[in-house]
Amino acid sequence: MKKISISPPVAAVLLAVVLFIFSGFLPNSFGTNTQAAVSQAVNIVRLSVFLGIIAAGQTLIIISGGEGIDLSAGAIVTLSAILTWMIVQGKDERVLPALVAVLLVGAVIGLINGAGIIFLKISPLVMTLGMAGVITGVVIITNHSNTPGRLAPIMTRVIARPLFLGIPGAIIIYVFFAALMWLILERTTFGKNLFAIGVNRVTAKLSGVNVTHMVLGTYALAGALAAFGGFMVVGNTGVVFLSLGQPFLFPSIAAVAVGGTLLSGGKGSYFGSMAGALVLILISSVLTTMQMIDAVRQMVLGATLLIILSIYGRQRGFRQ
């Protein structure tokens, strides 16, 4: 009898559907109200957009192998949100320059991370954790917890509010963003080389892949993606504070793992990371609906992730 197997990304989507249906039976939920259910579903997807965008950079870094995980992503999100807030100053015409500026800053930070890892042989965990501390320190010193600025009206209209047929602009942007990520990973030389260095960097180098350039480019792109995530987050929330990006750090890594990307590198997809982000948002939503205190929510979320990862056989992939 042939064994039926389900890929982790598809399993994550199925789990998200089950969680959503389960949430409908909880008190204070949408119940059997179809309109409320659709509204809730749209809101869940909208919330997953920001985590999914930030998880994009983590997806690239983890696929690249070398025990890579970006612990500076949360700090980059905070920094880019603050920079956006300060540059825009409530003026629509400054939004595009602000976006370009934060993408460049994020890319430079990522490039420094990659340079430390490649040339100084610093562990990715140590390098990105140290960079996170540097960024946080710079933000605190330069702002003193007081950030002058104001969000441009066009950002709220495009990101936070319904833009087309009642669909929030953030979701529409996410669709184009996901398509671009798919093209990068599946239809470009960069994507093919990324999977190659994730499987085996020595073999990839012998095959003609410039591993140094690939690692530098991957970390730079991941930094820019985290910065874009910060730009989107501040456009949705309309406020900035020093710990804005921190809640996205652990979930962005977990979303990649739940979506089926091997932590050892060389195998994964952005579709999986999107599904993983949706699962995490749904779990958080269910726990909130059940009115669990924050400490219990963290415990249940952590335990759930361990169960999911053990089912995927992530331990075998990590030991390889």
Q: Per-residue pLDDT tens for 124-141? A: 999 999 999 999 998 888
Encoding tokens for residue 121? 């042989």
User: What is the reported pLDDT for 313?
Assistant: 56
> Does some domain include residue 112?
yes
21: enclosing H helix or E strand: helix 8-23
Look up the domain containing 245 and give its range.
42-308
pLDDT score, position 316:
44
pTM attached to this predicted model:
0.90
Asked if the structure places residue 73 within a domain, the reply is yes
Q: Is residue 36 part of a domain?
A: no
Among the listed ranges 101-105, 249-253, 283-287, which one has the minimum average pLDDT value? 283-287
Name the more confident of 151 and 75: 75
In a domain, 98, yes or no: yes
Distance separating alpha carbons of residues 29 and 22, to the nearest angstrom = 10
Cα 302 from chain centroid (whole Å) = 18
Residue 163, classed as helix, strand or coil, is: strand
Does 160 fall in a domain?
A: yes
One-letter amino acid for residue 36 of the chain = A
CATH of residue 56's domain is 1.10.3470
> Is 90 a member of any domain?
yes
| Collapsed DSSP state (helix, strand, coil) of residue 164 | strand
- Among 73-87, 92-106, 220-234, 271-285, which stretch is predicted with the lowest mean pLDDT? 271-285
In a domain, 82, yes or no: yes
Is 155 a domain residue? Answer: yes
What is the rounded distance in angstroms from the CA atom of residue 120 to the CA atom of residue 65? Answer: 17
In this predicted structure, what is the pLDDT of residue 262? 87
